[in-house]
Structure 1
Amino acid sequence: MRCILPRRRTFNISVALLLAILLHRTEAALFAETPIPRADHVVQIWPGEPPAWKATEEAERDLSDAKSNLVAGAPIIRLGHVRNVELHVFEAADATGKPSNAAVIIAPGGGYTILAWDLEGIEVAKQLQAGGVTAIVLKYRVPTGPMGDEKWKPAVQDIQRSIALVRDGKVTSSTPQHVGAMGFSAGGNAVARTATSKTRHYESVDASDETIRRPDFACLVYPAWLVEKEQQDQMIEGIEVDSDTPPMFFAHGEDDPHAVLNSVTMFRQLHAAGVPSALHVFTGSGHGFGARLDGRADDLWPELCIRWIRDNGWIAASTKSPETR
Structure 2
Amino acid sequence: MMKSVAYTILFLAVLSGTATNVQNVLAESPANVTQADSVIQVWPEQPPTWTAPSESQRDTSTPESRQVGGKDVVRLGYVSTPEMHVYHAKNTEKSETVIVVCPGGGYSILAWDLEGTEIAEFLREIGVTTVVLKYRVPTREESQSWKAPVQDIQRTISMIRSGAVAGLEPKRVGVLGFSAGGNASARAATATERFYSPIDSNDSAGFSPDFAVLVYPAWLVEKENPTKLLDEIRVTESTPPIFFAHARDDRIDCLNSVTMFSELQKYKQNASLHVFAQGGHGFGARPVGNATDAWPELLENWMRDQEWIGK
TM-based fold match above 0.5:
yes
Contact 2:78 2:138 in 1 (8 A): yes
Amino acid paired to 1:90: Y
CA distance in 2, matches of 1:174, 1:199: 24
Deviation, 1:130, is 0.4
Deviation, 1:238, is 1.0
Specify which of 297, 302, 309 is matched with residue 296 of structure 2.
302
CA distance in 2, matches of 1:113, 1:154: 12
Equivalent residue number for residue 217 of structure 1: 211
SS in 2 for 1:104: strand
SS in 2 for 1:146: coil
Equivalent residue number for residue 320 of structure 1: none
Name the TM-score, length of structure 1 as normaliser.
0.85
Structure 1 stretches of 4+ with a deviation exceeding 3 A read none
Specify which of 30, 35, 39 is matched with residue 38 of structure 1.
35
Equivalent residue number for residue 143 of structure 1: 138
Matched, 1:128 2:123: yes
Query: Which runs of no fewer than 5 residues in structure 2 stay unpaired?
Result: 8-30
CA deviation map 1:85-144 (0-9, x unaligned): 1011111155xx354200000000000000000000000110011011111100000001
- What does 1:180-259 correspond to in 2, within 5 Å? 180-259=174-253
Matched, 1:88 2:82: no
Deviation, 1:271, is 1.1
Equivalent residue number for residue 55 of structure 1: 52
Larger proportion of helix: 1
Amino acid paired to 1:134: T
Equivalent residue number for residue 170 of structure 1: 164
Contact 1:199 1:212 in 2 (8 A): no
Contact 2:214 2:243 in 1 (8 A): yes
SS in 1 for 2:283: coil
SS in 1 for 2:141: helix
Matched, 1:73 2:73: no
CA distance in 2, matches of 1:211, 1:47: 16
CA distance in 1, matches of 2:43, 2:170: 21
Identity level (%): 49
Contact 2:2 2:297 in 1 (8 A): no
CA deviation map 1:268-302 (0-9, x unaligned): 10011111100011112000000001222211111
Contact 1:99 1:174 in 2 (8 A): no
Contact 1:125 1:136 in 2 (8 A): yes
Contact 2:190 2:235 in 1 (8 A): yes
Equivalent residue number for residue 102 of structure 1: 97
Structure 1 residues 299, 275: closer, same or farther in 2, change over 3 A?
same
CA distance in 2, matches of 1:277, 1:145: 29
CA deviation map 1:139-194 (0-9, x unaligned): 0000012312x010000000000000111122240301110000000000000000
Name the TM-score, length of structure 2 as normaliser.
0.89
Contact 2:94 2:128 in 1 (8 A): no
SS in 2 for 1:145: coil
Specify which of 280, 286, 290 is matched with residue 286 of structure 1.
280
Amino acid paired to 1:63: T
CA distance in 1, matches of 2:166, 2:307: 20
Amino acid paired to 1:49: Q
Amino acid paired to 1:161: R
CA distance in 2, matches of 1:46, 1:54: 16
Q: Larger C-alpha radius of gyration, 1 or 2? A: 1
Query: Which runs of no fewer than 5 residues in structure 1 stay unpaired?
Result: 4-22, 29-33, 318-325
Specify which of 250, 255, 258 is matched with residue 261 of structure 1.
255
Specify which of 249, 256, 277 is matched with residue 271 of structure 2.
277
CA deviation map 1:8-67 (0-9, x unaligned): xxxxxxxxxxxxxxx99xx99xxxxx9321111111110000000000010000000011
Count of residue pairs brought into register by the alignment: 289
Amino acid paired to 1:64: S
Bigger drift between 167-176 and 244-253 goes to 167-176
